[in-house]
Structure 1
Amino acid sequence: MRKPAAEITWTDRLLETLLTSFGLGYSPILPGTCGSLPAVLYYLAVDRMFPDEPMQSWLLAICIMATCVLTVAAGRWAEGFFGKKDSSAICTDEVAGMLLTLLLFRIPGMPWLTLAWVFPITRFFDIVKLPPVRKLEKLPRGWGVLVDDLWSALYGVALLWLIWWLQLGWFGPR
């Protein structure tokens, strides 16, 4: 149960806007997938403005840290506002997971091909929740909301690097 409209403050509105990825988390279809789209836009902007390393990695890492801090710090507030621990409207965890995958696996000079692989694989592992990811959701407050997505992202990274290592040629020329 969401907080009554008469009791909502501007701080509530700001946190709601940030945690729901500017309202994308309210999508009736695949709210987590829609809510992770700001990570895609951020990555494309960073890749365009800073095509060289290490700046790209630093900017992705800073955004991951900021998103993680926001998710954990607002955990108690979100439970009260949305009326449950891990509302599907909260998407900063999906953003952090997507950015973590992008930080740890990128095809140099090929941002669109990178996204064509990273986006569906990251979302797949977040939705499927291989062990022990489901147990991580039980961590208190924002930690449970966040850590399962970060762990799922690591599964995605492992699969992407395995495909790369097998040299299947699916990522284009090396």
Structure 2
Amino acid sequence: MGTLVAVPLYLLMVSWSVLLLLAAITVGFVVGIYLCGRTSEDMGVHDHGSIVWDEFIGFWVTMLLTPVMEWQTVLAGFIIFRFFDIVKLWPISWLDKKIHGGFGIMLDDIVAGLMSMVVLREGHQYFGWW
């Protein structure tokens, strides 16, 4: 469960500006394409469970535009991202099946992160989650 390890790393970055965090996510995405692709090739398995860098980046995308930093917000982001990452609703499921290599491994988690970010922000908007 790489997302759990992504949480403390995110907490180290939470004070960064949105622009700096976006830059870190972008660099992490590009590096992840290579790392995840190479690891997948070496293991002979597409998106093996031990490949977790994609989950780091996906969780960071989830939290990218979160305006308030409280443990409940981080927990909600974690749970929502894990839901989308595990259940793989469309279009995540389509990307997971159709886009291969490191780019595909990274892309489905980026989309899961974007969908999670929307749910997290809308939860705040409509239900006052934080």
- Cα offset, 1:147, TM superposition: 0.8
- Cα offset, 1:170, TM superposition: 2.9
Q: Distance in 1 between matches of 2:70 and 2:81?
A: 15
Counterpart position of 1:100: 61
**Mapped pair 1:112 → 2:79:** no
Indicate the structure whose relative CO is greater, using CA pairs within 8 Å and at least 6 residues apart.
2
- Cα offset, 1:124, TM superposition: 0.6
Runs (5+) with no aligned partner, structure 2 = none
TM-score by length of 1: 0.67
- Report the secondary structure of 2:29's partner residue: helix
- Cα offset, 1:75, TM superposition: 4.2
RMSD (Å) for aligned C-alpha atoms: 1.7
Please show how residues 83-162 of structure 1 align to structure 2 within 5 Å: 83-104=44-65, 106-108=66-68, 110-137=69-96, 138-162=98-122
Kept in 2: contact 1:57–1:103 (CA 8 A): yes
Q: What number of residue pairs does the alignment pair up? A: 129
Q: Distance in 1 between matches of 2:50 and 2:63?
A: 22
- Report the secondary structure of 2:99's partner residue: coil
Q: Distance in 2 between matches of 1:41 and 1:59?
A: 17
Bigger Rg, structure 1 or 2? 1
- Report the secondary structure of 1:74's partner residue: helix
Runs (5+) with no aligned partner, structure 1 = 1-33
Please show how residues 4-15 of structure 1 align to structure 2 within 5 Å: none
Q: Distance in 2 between matches of 1:79 and 1:116?
A: 29
- Report the secondary structure of 1:36's partner residue: helix
Kept in 1: contact 2:10–2:60 (CA 8 A): yes
Kept in 1: contact 2:73–2:129 (CA 8 A): no
AA of the residue aligned to 1:92: W
